[in-house]
Amino acid sequence: MMILALNGSPRKGGNTDLLIDQIFTGARKKGHICQKIYLYESKISPCVDCRHCKQGDFHCPIKDDMPQLMALMTKADTLLFGTPIYWYGPTAKMKLLIDRLRPLIATKGLAGKKGVIIVPSEEGASICGSIVKMFEMSFHYLGMVNRGAFLTTAYEKGEISQNSGEMQRALKFGYRL
Ligand SMILES: Cc1cc2nc3c(=O)[nH]c(=O)nc-3n(C[C@H](O)[C@H](O)[C@H](O)COP(=O)(O)O)c2cc1C
């Protein structure tokens, strides 16, 4: 199985990044092929609701890195959406990506793919209700299969690596993907 992680944190070596790597370590033990993309290294412009993607060949006319990102996404079997909580939602970069997935509604490009979210935050799982719901509903809208959420508490850069219990849980989470 091909697993693609979309890292929506601006911090390389941050909590989201380390969790993705740990989940990958677990997933590789099961023979899965894993690839990670740093969204902050990609050019993703905002959706401007021009509605081109709703007609004809469902093509988005915006010139940026989205065609390559969508090509990778449609090749993967499982998509990991990794984002820290910023103001009780995803980071702006992750939201830009999600807004631009509209062409894949009509083409059903992500239908049947498994979706997972990985979300560290200072306040922890108890404040993640809105982000969990947002992804759950978006997966449903795209015809994806919701495979759950890894929610955890961490604040400083790389802090999660000192939490051996959570790192172990991430490893097992990856193994079970
Ligand atoms: C702009 C901004 C907004 C944030 N908002 C929240 C928040 O609403 N609730 C929370 O628990 N943590 C919040 N945080 C903390 C991050 O979620 C936390 O530091 C996380 O571990 C960062 O993950 P990263 O290392 O992968 O970037 C915020 C951080 C930033 C920079």
**Is residue 174 very low, low, confident or very high in pLDDT (cuts 50, 70, 90)?**
very high
Specify the ligand 1 atom closest to the Cα of 11: 27
> pLDDT for 117-130, tens place per residue?
999 999 999 999 99
| Residue 84 near ligand 1, beta carbon < 6 Å | yes
Can you give the pLDDT at residue 44? 98
Which domains are seen in the chain, by residue range? 2-36+66-127+134-175 (3.40.50.360)
d(CA 150, CA 132): 10
Distances (CA, A) of 49 to 19, 45, 65, 94: 34, 12, 18, 18
Residue nearest to atom 19 of ligand 1 (CA): 155
pTM for the model: 0.98
Specify the ligand 1 atom closest to the Cα of 85: 17
Specify the ligand 1 atom closest to the Cα of 156: 19
| Residue 91 near ligand 1, beta carbon < 6 Å | no
Residue nearest to atom 23 of ligand 1 (CA): 84
> pLDDT for 149-169, tens place per residue?
999 999 999 999 999 999 999
Strands, sheet with 2-7, edge to edge from the N-terminal-most edge strand: 33-38, 2-7, 78-82, 114-121, 145-153
| Tokens 């990991």 -> residue | 80
Instruction: Give the pLDDT mean for 95-106.
Output: 97
Specify the ligand 1 atom closest to the Cα of 16: 26
